Structure formats: C-alpha cells, structure tokens
Amino acid sequence: MRVSNVFLLDGGPGDRFLIDTGHVLERPLLLAGLRASGLSPRELTGVLLTHCHSDHAGNAAYLRRTFGVPIIAHRRDAAILEGFEAAPSLVSRTGDPFARLFCAIENRTRTRVVVDRALEGGESIAGLEVHHVPGHTRGSILFRHVATASLLSGDALLAAVPPLTIVQRMCLPHPDYAISLDDALASLRAFLAKDLPFENLLAGHGRPILGGARARASELLCAA
C-alpha cells in the first residue's frame, strides 16, 4: 500500500485478521495484496482497526458489505465510525500546506461502517494485546504481538515523517492529525511505563522497523 500500511496476521483458517484496510482509493492494491497472499477476502476472520481515520478504515465498509468480514475497533472510535458521535475536526497547527490539505480532506470524507465488536483496551484478540492510547483519535489502539515482539501502532507511533511520509524514520504523532498531541504523548508514555517488551515497530506509515524499536521510542519521548 502507498498511503497507509495494512498488515495481515495469518494464524490459519479461522484466525486471519487484517490490521487496518487502507484508503478507499487503494482498494485495488488491497485486493491485489490479498490475492498475492493466496487468500480471498471471504477467508478473513475480521478487520482490526487501529483508529477511525479514512486512510486506515477506508475499505472497512466494503469488506464487511461485500465479503461479510466483521469489523473490530475501540469503543470510542466505533461510536464515530457508526455515526453516533461526530468526529472532532482536524485543525492544522503547523502551517504545512500538505498537512492542511490532508486535514481538509479527512474532515470532508468521514468513514462510516458498522462495528461488530467494540474493544475497551486491556483484552486480547487474535494473539494481540489491545492497548488504548487516546490522543491521535479518541479510540486509537496499539496492538502488541508478543510472539514476534512486535508493536502494531497505527498512527500513534510512526515509522515515516508526516505529512508526505517520504523520509523513513521513527517519529511521534503529527500535531496536525491528532485531536490532542499532549494526550497522544501521554498515552505513549503510559504504555512504555508498563515496561512491556517489543523490538519491532509495524506502524501505519513507513517501512517496518526491525530491532531496537522500544529503545528508540523511549528516546523520542524523552526528547519531546
């Protein structure tokens, strides 16, 4: 995928989950990626959304409607995805023209989908620990995969520099896309304070960072 990453967690039949779905404009790439993995969308057990933004949840309704794939998200973002709560408008604070454009697009293209299971944080699903980290959105989630020492972070922790994500390196959430940057950083600090090990970062943007991810995240937060 070119805009936002989508990850396939394949534990075999009955245990196949997508982490996020990409932007609606990248639907052909999403379907091509599934075909390349040897799977039909109908074989998916569910979709786990890291958060409600359209570049991550944009194909969720299509997968549910067309292939019957259940959608799973945190309760706070589920209320927005189902239209029961209004999504906070994104406001550009940095003055970056690309960030301002992307904020305007997101504010005008809200994703709507029925959420089949709402998460709270603290539970496990598909072999993943669920950690609620509000700030980027109200219901942003980190998924920690203990077996591979990996953290799937959505936009709560990035592997490429926004807004264009051309430069590849770990970085903190972008202030223009977070409903509260202070809350987003506080959530990350609280998560790291749990002292849960992870070495690899599979973020919503940027190439996977393999090795040393937790130490680097701690350094970034100390410098913030």
Q: Give per-residue pLDDT as tens, 133-165.
A: 999 999 999 999 999 999 999 999 999 999 999
Determine, yes or no, domain membership for 42. Answer: yes
Determine, yes or no, domain membership for 134. Answer: yes
Q: Convert the pLDDT of each residue in 97-109 to its tens digit.
A: 999 999 999 999 8
Task: Point out which residues pair with 73 in neighbouring strands.
Answer: 118
* Averaged pLDDT, 109-137: 97
Determine, yes or no, domain membership for 103. Answer: yes
Q: Where are the beta strands (DSSP E) in the chain?
A: 7-10, 16-19, 46-48, 71-74, 117-119, 124-125, 128-132, 141-145, 150-154, 200-203, 209-210
Q: Convert the pLDDT of each residue in 79-99 to its tens digit.
A: 999 999 999 999 988 989 999
Whole domain around residue 115: which residue ranges? Answer: 7-223
Determine, yes or no, domain membership for 1. Answer: no
Determine, yes or no, domain membership for 193. Answer: yes
Q: Which residue has the higher pLDDT, 1 or 7?
A: 7
Determine, yes or no, domain membership for 2. Answer: no
Q: Convert the pLDDT of each residue in 165-210 to its tens digit.
A: 999 999 999 999 999 999 999 999 999 999 999 999 999 999 999 9
Model confidence at 27: pLDDT above 90: yes
CB 199 within 8 A of CB 162: no
Between CA 192 and CA 218 the distance in angstroms is 7
Between CA 139 and CA 38 the distance in angstroms is 32
What is residue 8's three-state secondary structure?
Answer: strand
CB 105 within 8 A of CB 95: no
Determine, yes or no, domain membership for 78. Answer: yes
Model confidence at 215: pLDDT above 90: yes
**Predicted local confidence at residue 110, as pLDDT:** 87
Nearest C-alpha neighbor of 60 from the set 126, 109, 105, 112: 112
Count of domains for the chain: 1
Determine, yes or no, domain membership for 68. Answer: yes
* Averaged pLDDT, 111-116: 97
Task: Write the CATH number for 82.
Answer: 3.60.15.10
pTM of the model: 0.97
What residues contact residue 147 under an 8 Å CB cut-off, 6+ apart? 127
